[in-house]
Amino acid sequence: MPDFGNTYYSFENLVIRDKMVEICALASGSNGNCYYVGNESDAVLIDAGIYYNRLIERAEAAGVDIDKVRAVFISHEHTDHVSGAYGIAKRLCLPFYFTRKTFNNTRGQFRPADVRYFEPGDVCDVFGIKVHTFSKRHDASDPCSFVIETNGRKIGVMTDIGIVTEAVTDHFSQCDAVFLESNYDEDMLWHGSYPYYLKQRVASEVGHLSNNQSVELASNFASSNLSHIFLSHISAENNTIEKALMAFSQIAQNVTVLPTSRHAASEVVRL
């Protein structure tokens, strides 16, 4: 056994000490989404809604290593989740995981060359990182959310959710940390400048979660292991970071609540 001064460590303890999970929102909002989840050697991205140069700039600013990324998973075909896919795949030579319906409904200029397919409910293994996939409600062809499992931790990426379903609550309740949609403040949405049809779409069962809906989900289904919530996909027109944080203040004594941004990478959390 190695000797560090007067303290002795078993090899087993050294290995466990070195294990970690690193998470960061590189972009989150209607102008682009990209979420990083990795361990000490490998990582995955969820969604590719920003272009390659911006991805690299934000990763470097945050201090996360894009060279560890082994694959990218796409939740659905909307532009703010796929616009950077072609360029990122080409520059980084990465495989992209889609459902077939999502890929078939993705614009041609965004489609990467190396595509792998999954069905909702599949668990995909990427260099030992397990990506649990499940269906959600959103106005897309085959929308999915994800829970990434590595080093004994589960990290959820749950945005673009119109309504909280049993699949959402089941996966949420297993998470140690989660990127959770907190898209709109109800008063701001209904009294704001959006046309009525768009207000209806946002608040519908295939739209987005409000601050209050997200708080209700977290209050009722968080496990005792949940340590961090990243408030994600915050609307620029119908919400503010301050309103989202205020809504979550009632559970902030039990969980660390952090905002994400459409303009910069979030804080990096290492578990």
- 257 in a structural domain: yes
Q: In this structure, what are the phi and psi dihedrals at residue 28, rounded to the nearest 5 degrees? A: -155, 110
Phi, psi (degrees; rounded to nearest 5) at 25: -90, 110
Q: Examine residue 144 and state whether it is found in any structural domain, yes or no.
A: yes
Which residues, including other chains, have CB under 8 Å from residue 126's CB and lie 6 or more apart?
42, 44, 70, 71
Q: If we measure between CA atoms, which residue out of 103, 129, 127, 132 comes closest to residue 115?
A: 103
Asked whether residue 81 is domain-assigned, the answer is: yes
Q: List the CATH number of the domain containing 172.
A: 3.60.15.10
DSSP β-ladder status, 96-98 and 69-73: parallel
The one-letter amino acid code at 77 reads E
Q: Is residue 7 part of a domain?
A: no
For the sheet with 43-46, list strands across it. Answer: 115-117, 96-98, 69-73, 43-46, 34-38, 22-27, 269-270
Whether residue 189 is contained in a domain is answered as: yes
pTM: 0.92
The reported pLDDT for the residue numbered 252 is 83
φ and ψ at residue 139, rounded to 5 degrees: -85, 65
Per-residue pLDDT 10s for the chain (271 aa) are: 333 333 333 334 334 446 899 999 999 999 999 999 999 999 999 999 999 999 999 999 999 999 999 999 999 999 999 999 999 999 999 999 999 999 999 999 999 999 999 999 999 999 999 999 999 999 999 999 999 999 999 999 999 999 999 999 999 999 999 999 999 999 999 999 999 999 999 999 999 999 999 999 999 999 999 999 999 999 999 999 999 999 999 898 889 999 999 999 999 999 9
pLDDT of residue 18: 61
Q: Tell me the CA distances in angstroms from 121 to 22, 79, 99, 105, 147, one per residue in order.
A: 24, 24, 11, 20, 11
Is residue 5 included in any domain, yes or no? no
Q: Is the residue at 169 inside a domain?
A: yes
Residue-range definition of the domain harbouring residue 64: 19-261
In a domain, 87, yes or no: yes
Domain count, the chain: 1
Give the pair of three-digit tokens for residue 28.
Answer: 């989150």
Q: Give how far Cα 220 sits from Cα of 64, 171, 177, 251, 254, Å.
A: 32, 13, 15, 11, 13
